[in-house]
Amino acid sequence: MTFDRGASLTTATTLGFSDAADLGPTAGNGFHERWPDDLAALSELGLTALRIPLDWARLQPKPGEIDGNWAEWFDTLLIAVDASGLQAWVTLHETAIPRWFDNDGGMDDTETFTKWWPRWVERAADRFGDHVHGWIPFAVVPPTAPFQPWKDTWGILGGAGTPVVASIDARPASLGTFQCVERYLGFTDRLGVDLAGLLGDLGEDATADGGSSGQVAERGAEAIGRAVRDLAERASSTPLTITAVPTGGGPDAAALVEVAVAALDEALADGVPIDIAFIEPAIGAPDGDAGLLDPDRAPTAVTAAFQIAR
């Protein structure tokens, strides 16, 4: 028994952030022009799914308006992903937000968040829903945000036969992780587990302590195993989707991914219901984190560590 392997086409690495984003602009890795070849290369690796962010800032550069050119581009991409045999899991908020939304207070302003977020979800579902295998509305749900926008999201996307995933930060309960589980149960089809913070903290601690690769592996296996078991226990029978297994950019990237995969495989063997895990990013960017493919589109050591076909 094992879980399916997916990969994330993050906005930061593939397209870069746009002029219309609160974080933009930044450069991508050429995916906008190279995507047909990139999809073929990723399919050949043996993946089963891609997590694709619908870039809110590009698609809705002004309140209530959808950019036709970008909508057509994402339409074409999702259709091609479907035709390639890969499942498209779509994220509606990853990192950046539209500048106009940020100027109105963004997700920190309850009125702005509650007003504009459901409208974005509706527009995205209407335009792209036919080619979406699963929804991961937030790469990580904002832990202190008002709950109404998520209830609206669940009302729009839930119950239509396409699974909806509430993705939470896997770090310990001091960050509100367990409270998040209780909050979202009943309003999600699967509980998403984002390992980015957990593995990031692990890497920083190892660097600070001058730890060896063996110590990193031991700490990582223990931390990941404990986190997914605790979350599965609190989630009852709700399946877990690992929404991010980050590679990081350092020399231990492959080792950390290998540790994560081994810990998840062990948890699955012990009865933890893990259905799929997404490595992040699928394709690296210059001076960015390592991906399954490097910026020149060559497979990396991370590919073998993720245990998919080469």
AA letter at 95: T
Structural domain contains residue 36: yes
Place of tokens 């063997």: 269
Q: Judging by DSSP bridges, how do beta strands 165-169 and 134-138 pair with one another?
A: unpaired
Report which DSSP code applies to 270: T
- Has residue 310 been placed in a domain? no
Question: Does residue 287 lie within any of the structural domains?
Answer: yes
Helices (H) and strands (E) in the chain, counts: 12, 8
Q: How many domains does the chain have?
A: 1
In terms of C-beta density within 10 A (0-12 exposed, 13-18 middle, 19 or more buried), how is residue 83 classed?
exposed
Q: Which domain holds residue 137?
A: 4-305
Q: Residue 271 in contact with residue 235, Cβ under 8 Å?
A: no
CATH number of the domain that residue 13 is part of: 3.20.20.80
Q: Which residues of 87-96 are buried (b: 16+ CB within 10 A; e: fewer)?
A: bbbbbbbbbb
pLDDT category of residue 309 using cuts at 50, 70 and 90: low
**Within-domain flag for 11:** yes
pLDDT at 199 over 60: yes
Averaged pLDDT of the chain: 90
pLDDT tens per residue, range 115-156: 999 999 999 999 999 999 999 999 999 877 889 999 999 999
